[in-house]
Structure 1
Amino acid sequence: MALVASATMLAALGAAPAQAAEGAQRLTGPGTGDPDVFLTYVGCDALFGAAQPPQSRLNLGPYTSPLGRRSLGLVPASGGTASGPFTRFGSLAALDASVAVASTSGSTGVSYVMAITPDNVPGTAWRGRAALSAPAGSWTTVSTAATSYDWTLVDLATLASLGSSETATPAAFAAGHGDGAGFVVTGFGCDGSPFNIDAVRGAGRTFDWEGTALATGMSVDRTSVDAGQSVSLTGRVSDPGGRVTGDPLVLESRRPGGAWAPVGDLVVSGPGGLSRVDVPVTETTEFRWHRPESQYADEGWSDAVTVTVAEPAAAPEGASKK
């Protein structure tokens, strides 16, 4: 998750977001690839204060995810940092960015809005801040449109406050000071507790975190043996970039046309991230690798390979039998 510098955030002031595409975009990591909506981290006490990047991971759930089956888990390095979506907006009056958050222990967070309206002089901007909380036990959706912020005029060069504050929702504030463009950052983890996010909406876009698409391959050292001989079967799991992930696998077998059944226990990967097992074969058998479901990927199977057992040679006609 890349840190967004103060200058980069401030450059978003006054710029409208790009045209949005329809439908939810499925993500498998913290990057959105979108310049108008992306994940970042900021200080809980000050927007551009000290902050540390969290670790991220895909999770099943927790609870029932707002979209799909998975969400993005974020683990703060320590307290004092809020992590979550940055959203650029073109209208403060119509601002309605949102994020769903869940934490099994509860989490505290903060939301910041920076906007330029017709009544602030050049070199200044309005800064809104709101403290947030998400209780344990369920998903909570935080909408900027329904959140009341404490607004203060700030000097853009020093970020120092230039007067007293007032409290209002973005639409109510725009009604009194005029509409304008800017950005909002909404994050959690201020108390250091891990949490999950999903269903990030903003700038006409929706983001849904789901599983990584993995590929499982099978190779065998030989496909024809005498009855009782062993074959060496190797499984390889890779991500869309071709990187071997080392996910554990279960070998399955069947007689041709029969039902699949596991052969032994879960096989943990060895050197090079490959799973390998030697199996004696007494009759012609089909083999495949099963990749069980994990937190970050759905289950899957490799293509099947057939190992043929040679039929014993027939005795010559007329040969004596003993």
Structure 2
Amino acid sequence: MVLGVLGALLVPSLSSPASAAGDATVVVRGTDLPVGGPIELSYVGCARLYERTAEVPQPFVGLGPDQAPAGERSLRYDLAGGTALGSLSYARSMASTTTSGLSVQAPRGAAGVAWVGYQEPADFGTTTYWFGRADVSAPAGAWTSVETTGLTYTWSRYDMATRRAVGGATAAPSTLAAMIAERGDGPGFRTVGFGCDGNRFALDALRVGDATGTTTYDLEGLTTTTVMAARPAPRGTVLTGVLRDGSGEQVVRGTLVLERQVAGGWETVQVVPAEAVDATVTVAPEQTTTYRWRFADRPLAEGSVSEPTTVTVAPGQETSQEPTQQPTRQPAQR
């Protein structure tokens, strides 16, 4: 997971709010937001932008809660308090951004913060920016859409090189649009997040857009692939199940279900852990039987099924119907 830390902003590298004309939805697997895209995850201080706690945020992908705003899943956090995690977007022209925000759900409600950084034309070529801060909140229990473009911010001037406020330099509370109307347009960033009060929360439907369209980021679970390999053994056939996520890594707490084909569908033969090592079962059916490995859909990752493999038994061959290990339990339906 990459978290934006709002270091020294290099104006030429700032992204445009939208990559193409028209509205679009981008499916994000876990926390893997597109590298170099207009939006990323942020982790910032609630009272002061750069004053964050030392904890390492641990993301959890889960179904819902309730009906997620985009897709089926959301990204959840339970922070210690004092810091906020959410979305961060950059723009060459802050005036061009028409929408920037996200959706949040918190069982007990949640307090968060929005920050905006903006460089007026008089400061071009320097590391001085205006920073604006605004409190945000979400009520208990329901998904809430939080929009940052219309917020009223409290303003101070910061030196991005030293990450310190420029002494005594403030502006009256106002929206970013009012600041731009008074001082001129320029580049900058917006970030909004939750966790300031330590209440757990879920995020989904991160969005950023301009006049050409809005891009919404649907936070979903990992994709998976399941592959079966078969090889002969002295007392049967060894069936190996290989479970990987979309990046080629093993799935945390992954288990595979070995199934055999029967009239009307498939039945469970055995459930085998597949987290540390690949799942392996030796089978010796009495008659020709078709098998497959299945990874059951769960909150963290989407399910997948291997291509079937048929173990052929020659006429008159004496074998045992059961695998070398007895079935353990039915697959968890989560």
TM-based fold match above 0.5: yes
5+ unaligned residues in a row in structure 1: which ranges?
A: 314-322
Matched position secondary structure for 2:272: coil
| Alignment partner of 1:253 is 2:260 | yes
Residue matched to 2:193: 187
Asked whether the 8 Å contact 1:79–1:192 carries over to 2, the reply is yes
Separation in 2, partners of 1:15, 1:243: 32
Residue matched to 1:101: 104
Asked whether the 8 Å contact 1:110–1:186 carries over to 2, the reply is yes
| Alignment partner of 1:134 is 2:138 | yes
Change (3 A) 1:303 1:14: closer
Matched position secondary structure for 1:273: coil
Separation in 2, partners of 1:117, 1:136: 38
| Alignment partner of 1:38 is 2:46 | no
Q: Deviations over 1:135-173 (max 9, x none)?
A: 231211111123222223445553235345422222233
| Alignment partner of 1:215 is 2:221 | no
Alignment of 1:210-249 (within 5 A): 210-222=220-232, 230-245=236-251, 247-249=254-256
Alignment of 1:74-223 (within 5 A): 74-76=77-79, 78-95=80-97, 96-118=99-121, 124-154=128-158, 157=162, 158-203=164-209, 205-222=215-232
Query: Would you say how many aligned residue pairs link Structure 1 and Structure 2?
Result: 304
Q: Deviations over 1:202-222 (max 9, x none)?
A: 255332222322111123333
Deviation at 1:4, TM superposition (A): 4.2
Q: Report the structure number with the largest CA radius of gyration.
A: 1
Asked whether the 8 Å contact 1:41–1:81 carries over to 2, the reply is yes
Change (3 A) 1:247 1:173: same
Separation in 2, partners of 1:5, 1:253: 50
Residue matched to 1:287: 291
Match of 1:266 among 271, 277, 283: 271
Separation in 2, partners of 1:217, 1:152: 56
Asked whether the 8 Å contact 1:292–1:300 carries over to 2, the reply is yes
Matched position secondary structure for 2:178: helix
Q: Letter of the 2:218 partner, please give it.
A: D
Change (3 A) 1:31 1:240: closer
Deviation at 1:18, TM superposition (A): 7.2
| Alignment partner of 1:21 is 2:20 | yes
| Alignment partner of 1:312 is 2:313 | no
Task: With the length of structure 2 as denominator, give the TM-score of the two structures.
Answer: 0.79
Q: Letter of the 1:168 partner, please give it.
A: S
Separation in 1, partners of 2:166, 2:71: 43
Matched position secondary structure for 2:179: helix
Separation in 2, partners of 1:113, 1:18: 14
Residue matched to 1:316: none
Separation in 1, partners of 2:129, 2:12: 9
Matched position secondary structure for 2:42: strand
Task: With the length of structure 1 as denominator, give the TM-score of the two structures.
Answer: 0.82
Q: Deviations over 1:225-284 (max 9, x none)?
A: 9xxx754432220123433336212221125xx3323224532237x4222334441221
Separation in 1, partners of 2:257, 2:5: 46
Asked whether the 8 Å contact 1:217–1:302 carries over to 2, the reply is yes
Separation in 2, partners of 1:65, 1:276: 37
Q: Letter of the 2:58 partner, please give it.
A: Q
Q: Letter of the 2:221 partner, please give it.
A: G
Higher strand fraction (1 or 2): 2
Asked whether the 8 Å contact 1:97–1:202 carries over to 2, the reply is yes
5+ unaligned residues in a row in structure 2: which ranges?
A: 318-334
